[in-house]
A and B are shown apart, each in its own frame.
Chain A
Amino acid sequence: EDQVTQSPEALRLQEGESSSLNCSYTVSGLRGLFWYRQDPGKGPEFLFTLYSAGEEKEKERLKATLTKKESFLHITAPKPEDSATYLCAVQDHQGGSEKLVFGKGTKLTVNP
Protein backbone atom coordinates (compact mmCIF):
# COMPACT_ATOMS: atom_id res chain seq x y z
CA GLU A 1 0.00 0.00 0.00
CA ASP A 2 1.29 3.43 -0.92
CA GLN A 3 2.26 5.60 2.04
CA VAL A 4 3.31 9.22 2.39
CA THR A 5 4.65 10.70 5.64
CA GLN A 6 5.41 14.38 6.06
CA SER A 7 7.49 15.95 8.79
CA PRO A 8 7.39 18.04 10.82
CA GLU A 9 3.63 18.44 11.32
CA ALA A 10 4.14 22.12 12.08
CA LEU A 11 7.07 24.49 11.68
CA ARG A 12 7.52 28.04 12.89
CA LEU A 13 10.23 30.19 11.31
CA GLN A 14 11.34 33.76 11.58
CA GLU A 15 11.34 35.76 8.38
CA GLY A 16 14.58 35.01 6.55
CA GLU A 17 15.26 31.75 8.44
CA SER A 18 15.73 29.01 5.84
CA SER A 19 14.57 25.43 6.48
CA SER A 20 13.36 22.21 4.83
CA LEU A 21 10.20 20.14 4.89
CA ASN A 22 10.39 16.38 4.46
CA CYS A 23 8.17 13.94 2.57
CA SER A 24 9.04 10.24 2.78
CA TYR A 25 7.14 7.77 0.64
CA THR A 26 6.62 4.11 -0.12
CA VAL A 27 5.25 3.17 -3.54
CA SER A 28 5.46 0.20 -5.87
CA GLY A 29 6.40 2.30 -8.86
CA LEU A 30 6.66 6.07 -8.65
CA ARG A 31 4.96 7.88 -11.50
CA GLY A 32 5.36 11.30 -9.94
CA LEU A 33 5.69 13.16 -6.65
CA PHE A 34 3.70 16.36 -6.28
CA TRP A 35 4.04 19.34 -3.94
CA TYR A 36 1.13 21.64 -3.17
CA ARG A 37 0.54 24.75 -1.11
CA GLN A 38 -2.81 25.13 0.67
CA ASP A 39 -4.14 28.28 2.29
CA PRO A 40 -6.93 28.03 4.91
CA GLY A 41 -10.35 27.37 3.41
CA LYS A 42 -9.00 26.91 -0.13
CA GLY A 43 -8.12 24.05 -2.42
CA PRO A 44 -4.46 22.99 -2.78
CA GLU A 45 -2.42 24.96 -5.29
CA PHE A 46 0.02 23.03 -7.48
CA LEU A 47 3.73 23.81 -7.00
CA PHE A 48 5.95 21.06 -8.50
CA THR A 49 6.06 17.58 -9.98
CA LEU A 50 9.20 15.46 -9.62
CA TYR A 51 9.63 12.20 -11.52
CA SER A 52 12.99 10.62 -10.76
CA ALA A 53 15.71 10.56 -8.12
CA GLY A 54 18.11 13.46 -8.45
CA GLU A 55 15.57 15.79 -10.00
CA GLU A 56 15.22 19.34 -8.65
CA LYS A 57 12.68 22.07 -9.36
CA GLU A 58 12.68 25.70 -8.21
CA LYS A 59 10.11 28.45 -7.92
CA GLU A 60 10.96 31.72 -6.22
CA ARG A 61 12.04 30.84 -2.64
CA LEU A 62 11.09 27.16 -2.96
CA LYS A 63 13.18 24.28 -4.21
CA ALA A 64 12.01 20.68 -4.32
CA THR A 65 14.37 17.70 -4.51
CA LEU A 66 13.77 13.98 -4.85
CA THR A 67 15.58 10.80 -3.79
CA LYS A 68 14.40 7.20 -4.06
CA LYS A 69 12.73 7.36 -0.66
CA GLU A 70 11.98 10.99 0.10
CA SER A 71 11.53 14.50 -1.15
CA PHE A 72 12.51 17.79 0.44
CA LEU A 73 10.96 21.19 0.01
CA HIS A 74 13.62 23.77 0.82
CA ILE A 75 12.46 27.25 1.71
CA THR A 76 15.13 29.94 1.40
CA ALA A 77 14.74 33.25 3.27
CA PRO A 78 10.99 32.78 3.79
CA LYS A 79 8.54 35.65 4.05
CA PRO A 80 5.26 35.81 6.04
CA GLU A 81 3.30 35.25 2.82
CA ASP A 82 4.89 31.79 2.57
CA SER A 83 2.82 30.76 5.60
CA ALA A 84 0.55 27.90 4.50
CA THR A 85 0.17 24.15 4.72
CA TYR A 86 2.43 22.29 2.30
CA LEU A 87 1.19 18.97 1.00
CA CYS A 88 3.08 16.16 -0.67
CA ALA A 89 1.43 13.47 -2.83
CA VAL A 90 2.62 10.47 -4.82
CA GLN A 91 1.15 8.91 -7.91
CA ASP A 92 1.77 5.21 -8.41
CA HIS A 93 1.51 3.62 -11.84
CA GLN A 94 1.28 0.10 -10.48
CA GLY A 95 -1.55 -1.78 -12.19
CA GLY A 96 -2.44 1.13 -14.41
CA SER A 97 -4.11 3.06 -11.62
CA GLU A 98 -3.15 6.71 -11.21
CA LYS A 99 -4.38 7.14 -7.67
CA LEU A 100 -2.96 10.16 -5.85
CA VAL A 101 -2.04 9.55 -2.21
CA PHE A 102 -1.39 12.52 0.08
CA GLY A 103 0.57 13.06 3.25
CA LYS A 104 -1.05 14.96 6.11
CA GLY A 105 0.90 18.11 5.40
CA THR A 106 3.28 20.49 7.17
CA LYS A 107 1.79 23.70 8.51
CA LEU A 108 4.38 26.44 8.05
CA THR A 109 4.17 29.74 9.92
CA VAL A 110 6.64 32.50 9.09
CA ASN A 111 6.74 35.31 11.62
CA PRO A 112 7.80 38.84 10.58
Chain B
Amino acid sequence: DVKVTQSSRYLVKRTGEKVFLECVQDMDHENMFWYRQDPGLGLRLIYFSYDVKMKEKGDIPEGYSVSREKKERFSLILESASTNQTSMYLCASSSPTRAFFGQGTRLTVV
Protein backbone atom coordinates (compact mmCIF):
# COMPACT_ATOMS: atom_id res chain seq x y z
CA ASP B 1 0.00 0.00 0.00
CA VAL B 2 1.29 3.45 -0.89
CA LYS B 3 2.38 5.66 1.96
CA VAL B 4 3.09 9.25 2.83
CA THR B 5 4.32 9.50 6.40
CA GLN B 6 4.57 12.66 8.45
CA SER B 7 6.92 12.55 11.41
CA SER B 8 4.46 13.76 14.05
CA ARG B 9 0.68 13.80 14.53
CA TYR B 10 0.77 16.51 17.20
CA LEU B 11 3.39 19.13 18.08
CA VAL B 12 3.47 21.94 20.61
CA LYS B 13 6.22 24.54 20.16
CA ARG B 14 7.06 27.89 21.70
CA THR B 15 7.07 31.20 19.87
CA GLY B 16 10.44 31.82 18.27
CA GLU B 17 11.48 28.18 18.08
CA LYS B 18 12.76 26.67 14.84
CA VAL B 19 10.40 23.86 13.84
CA PHE B 20 10.99 20.99 11.43
CA LEU B 21 8.14 18.99 9.90
CA GLU B 22 9.27 15.90 8.05
CA CYS B 23 7.50 13.99 5.29
CA VAL B 24 8.56 10.75 3.63
CA GLN B 25 6.94 8.99 0.64
CA ASP B 26 7.62 5.50 -0.65
CA MET B 27 6.16 5.85 -4.16
CA ASP B 28 9.14 7.35 -6.00
CA HIS B 29 7.05 10.43 -6.86
CA GLU B 30 8.70 13.48 -8.38
CA ASN B 31 6.26 15.99 -6.90
CA MET B 32 5.80 16.72 -3.20
CA PHE B 33 3.71 19.42 -1.52
CA TRP B 34 3.20 21.12 1.82
CA TYR B 35 -0.21 22.59 2.66
CA ARG B 36 -1.73 24.12 5.71
CA GLN B 37 -5.41 23.73 6.47
CA ASP B 38 -7.41 26.17 8.55
CA PRO B 39 -11.18 26.31 9.19
CA GLY B 40 -12.94 28.31 6.50
CA LEU B 41 -9.77 28.73 4.43
CA GLY B 42 -9.36 25.25 3.02
CA LEU B 43 -6.03 23.79 1.91
CA ARG B 44 -3.46 26.46 1.07
CA LEU B 45 -0.23 25.59 -0.68
CA ILE B 46 2.93 26.67 1.13
CA TYR B 47 5.68 25.15 -1.06
CA PHE B 48 6.08 22.35 -3.54
CA SER B 49 8.99 20.49 -5.05
CA TYR B 50 9.15 18.82 -8.46
CA ASP B 51 12.58 17.27 -8.09
CA VAL B 52 15.44 16.85 -5.65
CA LYS B 53 16.77 20.25 -4.58
CA MET B 54 14.09 21.99 -6.66
CA LYS B 55 11.32 23.98 -5.02
CA GLU B 56 8.68 26.56 -5.84
CA LYS B 57 6.74 28.92 -3.64
CA GLY B 58 3.06 28.29 -3.25
CA ASP B 59 0.44 30.81 -2.22
CA ILE B 60 1.58 31.44 1.38
CA PRO B 61 5.36 30.87 1.66
CA GLU B 62 6.10 33.68 4.11
CA GLY B 63 7.64 32.44 7.34
CA TYR B 64 8.42 29.00 5.88
CA SER B 65 11.24 27.32 4.01
CA VAL B 66 11.67 23.79 2.65
CA SER B 67 14.38 21.26 1.99
CA ARG B 68 14.48 18.32 -0.40
CA GLU B 69 17.85 16.62 -0.31
CA LYS B 70 16.50 13.18 -1.25
CA LYS B 71 13.62 12.26 -3.53
CA GLU B 72 11.60 10.55 -0.82
CA ARG B 73 11.89 13.27 1.83
CA PHE B 74 10.45 16.79 1.89
CA SER B 75 10.89 18.94 4.98
CA LEU B 76 9.01 22.07 6.00
CA ILE B 77 10.87 24.51 8.24
CA LEU B 78 9.39 27.26 10.35
CA GLU B 79 12.39 29.51 10.94
CA SER B 80 10.88 31.29 13.95
CA ALA B 81 7.50 29.92 14.92
CA SER B 82 4.68 32.36 15.57
CA THR B 83 1.19 31.85 16.99
CA ASN B 84 -0.39 32.51 13.59
CA GLN B 85 1.34 29.39 12.31
CA THR B 86 -0.82 27.23 14.57
CA SER B 87 -2.55 24.97 12.05
CA MET B 88 -2.92 21.51 10.53
CA TYR B 89 -0.04 20.82 8.15
CA LEU B 90 -0.50 18.29 5.36
CA CYS B 91 2.15 16.78 3.12
CA ALA B 92 1.33 15.18 -0.22
CA SER B 93 3.15 13.47 -3.04
CA SER B 94 1.81 13.00 -6.55
CA SER B 95 2.08 11.14 -9.79
CA PRO B 96 0.35 12.35 -12.96
CA THR B 97 -2.73 10.36 -11.98
CA ARG B 98 -3.23 10.96 -8.27
CA ALA B 99 -1.92 12.64 -5.16
CA PHE B 100 -1.62 10.98 -1.76
CA PHE B 101 -1.61 12.70 1.60
CA GLY B 102 -0.02 12.02 4.93
CA GLN B 103 -2.08 11.89 8.10
CA GLY B 104 -1.35 15.52 8.98
CA THR B 105 0.52 17.28 11.78
CA ARG B 106 -1.46 19.42 14.17
CA LEU B 107 0.99 22.15 15.22
CA THR B 108 0.24 24.45 18.13
CA VAL B 109 2.54 27.43 18.76
CA VAL B 110 2.22 28.89 22.25
Query: Do A and B bind?
Result: yes
Interface centre among B31, B48, B90, B99 (most CB of A within 10 A): B99
Main secondary structure of the interface of B (DSSP, over half): strand
Decide: A44 and B90 in contact? CB cutoff 8 A. yes
Interface band, chain B? 20 to 34
Interchain CA distance A32-B98 in the complex, whole Å: 9
> B104, A43: Cβ atoms under 8 Å?
yes
A49 to B99, CA, bound (A): 9
The secondary structure that dominates the A interface is strand
- Are B101 and A43 neighbours in the complex by a CB distance under 8 Å? yes
Q: Which of A32, A46, A102 sits near B96, CB closer than 8 Å?
A: A32
- Can you list, as one digit per residue, whether each of A76-112 has a CB less than 8 Å from chain B (1) or not (0)? 0000000000010101000001111111110000000
Would A49 and B43 be within 8 Å (CB), given that A41-B104, A42-B104, A44-B90 are in contact? Answer: no
List residues of chain A with CB under 8 Å of any chain B CB.
Answer: 31-32, 34, 36, 41-46, 49, 87, 89, 91, 97-105
